[in-house]
Structure 1
Amino acid sequence: MKILLIGANGEIGQILKPAFTKNHEIISAGRNSGDFRIDVSDSDSIEKIFKEIKDIDACICVAGDCYTGDLLSLDEEKLNIGIKNKLLGQVNLVLIGQKYLNDNGSFTLTSGKMADKPVKNNISKAIVNGGINSFVLATSLELERGIRINAISPGKVSDIPVSDLVAAYLKSIETTINGEIIKVNY
């Protein structure tokens, strides 16, 4: 399977890339590193990468910035960091990428446990992660050509056994599930 891994040099990407390389062709992409450059907050950048890379079977996104801070420090500008990068960036990957992904391909987005279990100083993450989960649930009902979509919702990555994290992403791309929010280590 040919997999586009966006955010390959991030915390999760560095775990997934070597594990997936054993059985799949991995095309890595990131803002500053990887086989290709992509800025998920820029629709033109997303369109460009899908036009450059042909025959993608799966697109996994583990990229996207989000603001961390208390309610009093939160304002529209800080909230928009997560909305433009993590939420809208992943939404646009699907909106644009669905035209290019192979039939029966899959999108795997990354949200996080703050959608279900927010903690202090993470309001922005709660909003963004909840939005990603809702997008996956609704979009799974309408994607065409057998394309599937799921989200991985991990707890704190440093507390998750590597095998559990890898298994969650593999479940999303290697099985036929669609519209699932796969929770890892809550």
Structure 2
Amino acid sequence: MRILLVGAAGKLGAAVHETLVNRGHSIVTVGRSSGDLRLDITDPAQITAAYDRAGDIDAVASAAGDVPYKPVVEMMPADYLSAFNGKVAGQLELVRQGTARIAERGSFTLITGVLAEQPIPTGSAAGMANGAVEAFVRSAAIEIAPQRVNAVSPTIFTESVADYGDFFPGVEPVDLERVASAYVRSIEGAQTGQVYPVR
């Protein structure tokens, strides 16, 4: 398959890229500052331009999303809007625009996360964003068939414990290799409307 991979330069994106290449897929990498195509996922016009330049695509995989982490009492309305724009709106727009751009039986794989169901202090914006992505996946799946849409919901990455482990006390980390396998399941499988937890 020819796959558009958004967020390819990050830890998760790099792992997904390597896994998909090793499985024989052709990858068009997309990132804000690196990759085959440059894209700010928060700008719908840039998403349009990326699809225009990408050519024929069988699947879209997103490993992109940015949210602020602050205590609720310190959050401002702009912070929640930033979380929505940074993780939700861009991924939704990849699907909205992409239905007319990818293969008839192509797929979308989005990224969410454990905080949709297992909150941590300072994680209200992330929980909100993840929950929105998951609700969208379930709703969109019933409308876009035979195209498919799923989400991958990991916990903290083993490779990120040194940086963020203190925010996830007692939470079992997962290797990026396992998370990348969930992307493979979504892209190469047949299910739709699924949120694949990686715990």
TM above 0.5: yes
Partner of 2:186: 172
Partner of 2:118: 117
Q: Deviation of residue 84 (structure 1)?
A: 0.8
Q: Deviation of residue 43 (structure 1)?
A: 0.4
Q: Deviation of residue 16 (structure 1)?
A: 1.1
Describe the SS at the equivalent of 1:108: strand
Partner of 2:177: 163
Letter aligned with residue 113 of structure 2: G
Q: Deviation of residue 161 (structure 1)?
A: 2.2
Unaligned 5+ segments in structure 1 are: none
**Cα separation, 2, equivalents of 1:162 and 1:75:** 32
1:49 aligns with 2:50: yes
1:5 aligns with 2:5: yes
**Cα separation, 2, equivalents of 1:29 and 1:117:** 30
Letter aligned with residue 11 of structure 2: E
The percentage of counterpart residues that share the same residue type is 31
**TM-score for both structures, normalised by structure 2:** 0.90
Partner of 1:138: 139
Partner of 1:150: 150
Following TM superposition, where does structure 1 have runs of at least 4 consecutive aligned residues deviating by more than 4 angstroms? none
Aligned pair count reads: 184
Describe the SS at the equivalent of 1:142: helix
**Cα separation, 2, equivalents of 1:161 and 1:33:** 24
Q: Deviation of residue 162 (structure 1)?
A: 3.2
Q: Deviation of residue 63 (structure 1)?
A: 0.6
Describe the SS at the equivalent of 1:57: strand
Kindly indicate which of the two structures has a greater share of residues assigned to helix.
2
Partner of 2:162: none
Partner of 2:109: 108
Partner of 2:165: none
Q: Does structure 1 retain, via aligned residues, the 8 Å contact 2:2–2:28?
A: yes
More displaced stretch, 69-78 vs 128-137? 69-78
Q: Does structure 1 retain, via aligned residues, the 8 Å contact 2:111–2:153?
A: yes
